[in-house]
């Protein structure tokens, strides 16, 4: 079983990439493969796994975290929706079996029953925004976070079920996206089968816009402007990201670049607001996160960012949740980098 995790800041194209994976690996899109990917390299050089999987997709960004009950109920409902779509797409079980699965009130047991019903198939599990609701809880209710992802927490049990199904040969591949590694790391042995691709050199340019692509976008959207000057401004203002210490090519946040070009195109001048307010960070959340563990050290990171315009973060592998919190200030940068 291959298990991968890809972390990137908000609005970086993670969900679009997940959609691409679903169309590439899902059995249901086999007859449309050439139409979708025919003009692309991956379409002209398909792997043996293309359109061979039953794809089980979950998306955990829309969860009400105001209370412990609402968090659980929304997680359960999102799990149910993903499973319902899966059953509707692939069938193979009768109405009684489907009803038994979908009326279950425990997310992990619901998932367990699904895997049991489809044990003769190969399943590709894709989870988008796996950590979105968990980051909300971490910021505002640390005790609830530790309860949910702890030994008997429903989040941990959910991922343990996937891990078990992988060991049984039912889940052949897992791919998850998010902003930080905090949630999966906090489960320790609950889900210790994932490889984090986020900081590997070969994946530095995964998602986002490359320098040349930004240049092409400027030429297409602002044909009568000074392209070199605009490119220089974008480089200066948005700076780009290096996700690997061994990489040398910066990657740009698609939302920021498209926002800038759209505003410039409408008004024929550089926008006054350089950040898309639709994705502005929740400052209350950031304030709460910076109060965790070592507030003074966390504030030093913010001071460095404000004074120098940039700072360096290190994702430090840890083997227990308390140890991981020592590096919380570095992880907070992943959230701050959206500012």
Task: Name the most confidently modeled range: 80-89, 119-128, 177-186, 265-274.
Answer: 80-89
Q: Any idea which residue has 């926008």 for tokens?
A: 271
35, burial (CB in 10 Å: exposed 0-12, middle 13-18, buried 19+): exposed
pLDDT category of residue 191 using cuts at 50, 70 and 90: low
Q: Give the per-residue pLDDT at 55.
A: 96
d(CA 16, CA 231): 25
Give the DSSP H or E segment for 307: helix 295-308
What's the whole-number mean pLDDT along residues 27-44?
92
Check: CB of residue 76 under 8 Å from CB of residue 107: yes
β-bridge mates for residue 53, sequence order: 26
**Does residue 160 surpass a pLDDT of 70?**
yes
Cβ atoms within 10 Å, residue 184: 26
Query: What pLDDT is stored for residue 16 in this prediction?
Result: 87
Mean predicted confidence (pLDDT) in 190-194: 61
Lowest mean pLDDT among 164-168, 193-197, 207-211, 246-250: 193-197
pLDDT at 249: 84
User: What value does the mean pLDDT take over residues 211-229?
Assistant: 90
Q: Which residues of 275-298 are buried (b: 16+ CB within 10 A; e: fewer)?
A: bbeeeeeeeeebebbbeebeeeeb
Q: Give the model confidence (pLDDT) of 221-232 as tens digits.
A: 989 888 988 888
What CATH class has 2-198?
alpha beta
The pLDDT value recorded for residue 284 is 58
Torsion angle defined by CA atoms of residues 160, 196, 24 and 38, in that order, rounded to the nearest 10 degrees: 180
Ranges of beta strands (E only) in the chain are 2-7, 54-59, 123-128, 171-178, 195-196
Q: Which of 158, 160, 136 lies closest to 70, judged by CA?
A: 136
Residue extents of the structural domains in the chain: 2-198, 211-277, 281-336
For the ranges 159-163, 197-201, 241-245, which has the lowest average pLDDT?
197-201
Res. 306 pLDDT band, cuts 50 70 90: low
SS3 256: helix
Residue-wise pLDDT tens digits, 137-154 = 666 666 677 777 777 788
Structure tokens at 9: 């800041």
Cα 138 to Cα 74: distance, rounded to the nearest angstrom: 17
- Give the mean model confidence (pLDDT) for residues 191-207: 74
Residue-wise DSSP of 45-110: S--TTTT-BEEEEEE-S----SSHHHHHHHHHHHHHHHHHHHHHHH--S-HHHHHHHHT-SSHHHH
With a threshold of 0.85, does the pTM exceed it? no
- SS3 state at 127: strand
Distance CA 204, CA 12 (A): 13
3-class DSSP state of 175: strand
What distance in Å separates the CA atoms of residue 29 and residue 23, rounded to the nearest whole number? 6
The mean per-residue pLDDT over the stretch 112-125 comes to 94
- To the nearest whole number, what is the mean pLDDT of the chain? 79
Long-range contacts, stretch 25-32, CB < 8 angstroms, 24+ apart: 25/49, 25/50, 25/51, 25/52, 25/53, 25/55, 25/124, 25/173, 26/51, 26/53, 26/54, 26/55, 26/124, 27/51, 27/52, 27/53, 27/54, 27/55, 27/90, 28/89, 28/90
């Amino acid at each position: 079983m291959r298990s991968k995790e890809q972390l990137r800041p908000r609005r970086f194209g993670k969900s679009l990439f997940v959609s691409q994976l679903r169309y590439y690996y899902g059995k249901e899109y086999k007859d449309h493969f050439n139409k979708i990917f025919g003009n692309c390299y991956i379409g002209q050089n398909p792997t043996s796994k293309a359109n061979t999987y039953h794809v089980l997709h979950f998306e955990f960004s829309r969860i009400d975290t105001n209370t412990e009950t609402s968090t659980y109920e929304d997680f359960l409902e999102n799990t149910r929706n993903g499973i319902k779509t899966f059953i509707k797409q692939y069938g193979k079980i009768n109405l009684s079996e489907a009803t038994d699965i979908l009326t279950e009130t425990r997310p992990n047991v619901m998932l367990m029953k699904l895997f049991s019903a489809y044990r003769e198939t190969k399943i590709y599990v894709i989870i988008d925004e796996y950590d979105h609701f968990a980051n909300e809880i971490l910021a505002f209710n640390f005790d609830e976070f530790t309860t949910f992802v702890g030994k008997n927490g429903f989040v941990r049990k959910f991922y343990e079920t996937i891990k078990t199904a992988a060991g049984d040969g039912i889940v052949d591949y897992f791919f998850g996206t998010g902003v930080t590694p905090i949630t999966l790391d906090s489960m320790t042995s609950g889900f210790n089968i994932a490889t984090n691709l986020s900081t590997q050199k070969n994946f530095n340019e995964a998602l986002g816009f490359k320098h040349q692509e930004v240049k092409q976008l400027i030429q297409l959207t602002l044909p009568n402007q000074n392209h070199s000057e605009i490119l220089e401004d974008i480089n200066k203002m948005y700076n780009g990201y290096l996700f690997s210490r061994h990489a040398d090519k910066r990657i740009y946040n698609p939302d920021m670049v498209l926002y800038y070009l759209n505003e410039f195109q409408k008004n024929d001048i550089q926008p006054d607001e350089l950040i898309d307010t639709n994705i502005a960070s929740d400052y209350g959340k950031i304030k709460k996160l910076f109060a965790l563990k070592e507030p003074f050290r966390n504030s030093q990171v913010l001071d460095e960012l404000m004074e120098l315009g940039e700072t360096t973060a290190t994702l430090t592998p840890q083997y227990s949740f308390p140890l991981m919190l020592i590096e919380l200030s570095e992880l907070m940068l992943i959230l701050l980098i959206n500012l």
